[in-house]
Amino acid sequence: MTSRLRKPHILIAGGGIGGLTAALALLKRGYDVDVYEQAAELREVGAGVQLSPNGIRALHELGLHEPFRALACEASGKQIRLWNSGQTWRIFDLGAESVERYGFPYYMVYRPDLLAVLADGVRCEKPDAIHLDSRCTGFEQTVSSVTLKYDKAGTENKVTGDALIGADGVHSRIRQALFGHDHPEYTGMLSWRGVIPMEKLPHHMRGTIGTNWVGPGGHVVHYPVHRGEYMNFNGIIERDGWQVESWSASGTHEECHACFEGWNADIHCMIDSFTTPYKWALMARAPLDKWSVGRVSLLGDACHSMLPMLAQGAAMALEDGYILARAMEAAGADISQGLARYEQARKVRTSKVVQGSAENGRRFQSRTLADSAAAQEYVDREWTPDKVRQRYEWLFTYDVTAVPV
């Protein structure tokens, strides 16, 4: 139990999307928070994320909707295009309809913009809360405290607090220290990422719509970010061999073109237009049985990394961060109870999203799409308004402020 006379002190390993959201949500509820981030600067390899209304609700509640809106792009809708012919189906409207149905818009955002908005929010509450160049290596806990170990400029440091949250992403050191090494399985899919200055693309490819190209054994998602100044490209293709899961690994344009041989000229035009083609092997991890032990818990990709096919990883990290703060507050001075409540509130939903993401991947890359006539029938069958609603409605309507903790 923690003394009522001082604020509980929460340590967070990892200053990514989930770690910064948790930090801000906790600071706003009166906790003292310190975040330890390995990067020397809060800047990431350029890439985009799509953020659905369920995630935006958390940003709104934290007072960040307006600064975020100024940098992001609001999606007017989503369309499907066929890998070779480019035939196009509009599958749903977002824009005003998203606000009407779910309370908030659907945005497409450049990751460094989202991180900057979150970091500014944290620093407004506590200017020195974010410790950069601090690589977390492990922890020790007792019944009354937890000590985080981290390396800074080659020196080992220690800090003691009341709780530790491992928000240190897919390769989480805190998860390893809690539960040992994990054994991710290569999905057989490689993801190519690139950011393209919008002026390099022909007019018909610009606009505020999110596009999913679907094809046999692959799919490509692209959407505008950073006030529409860039197009974010993410092309996923079945490939053997490469199994490195890293934001910073890169390949060549030739390799990327070869992966999409036979695909529409618009795809190759985008590949030609990005400076560096980054590649990432998509690995699958089964959801964890347990996230918390005593005063230590996990958040975001550290405990439920998922394939990107429902575009929910960042939204789940935002939801986790917000719910963590609510659960801690609801449990009062009992820190372990707060973490247990958080885990209880989040596990079923996030496991369902992990599973739904894998299913959507199979849908986007069906072999049926190889044949144009069969493809038409397949798209008409798989993306009926009813089916689309079934797949997304439960995600978008989730309310971080109202779910029981």
Interface contacts to ligand FAD, rule CB under 6 A: 13-19, 36-39, 49-50, 135-136, 167-169, 173, 191, 193, 234, 280, 300-302, 308, 311-315, 317
Of 70, 65, 195, whose CA–CA distance to 118 is shortest? Answer: 65
Q: Which spans in 231-334 are helix H?
A: 253-259, 265-273, 301-304, 313-330
Cα–Cα distance between 229 and 201 in angstroms, integer? Answer: 11
Cα–Cα distance between 130 and 147 in angstroms, integer? Answer: 17
CA angle 257, 263, 265 (to 5 degrees): 80
Cα–Cα distance between 182 and 285 in angstroms, integer? Answer: 8
Q: State the residue number with the nearest CB to ligand FAD.
A: 16
What is the closest distance, in whole angstroms, from the C-beta atom of residue 43 to ligand FAD in the complex?
10
CB of 302 closer than 8 Å to CB of 166: yes
Our CB check for ligand FAD shows the closer of 58 and 375 to be: 58
What is the closest distance, in whole angstroms, from the C-beta atom of residue 381 to ligand FAD in the complex?
25
CB of 211 closer than 8 Å to CB of 79: yes
What is the closest distance, in whole angstroms, from the C-beta atom of residue 15 to ligand FAD in the complex?
5
What is the closest distance, in whole angstroms, from the C-beta atom of residue 49 to ligand FAD in the complex?
4
Buried b / exposed e over 146-155, threshold 16 CB at 10 Å, is bebbbeeeee
What is the closest distance, in whole angstroms, from the C-beta atom of residue 266 to ligand FAD in the complex?
20
Report residue 336 as tokens: 């372990």
What is the closest distance, in whole angstroms, from the C-beta atom of residue 135 to ligand FAD in the complex?
5
Q: Does 223 participate in catalysis according to the annotation?
A: yes
Measure Cα distances from 184 to 88, 208, 245, 300, 368 in Å. 35, 35, 10, 16, 28
From the list 107, 223, 230, 322, the catalytic residue is 223
Buried b / exposed e over 44-78, threshold 16 CB at 10 Å, is bbbbbbbbbbbbbbbbbbbebbebbbebbbbbbbb
Q: Which spans in 14-71 are helix H?
A: 17-28, 53-61, 65-69
Catalytic residues: 223
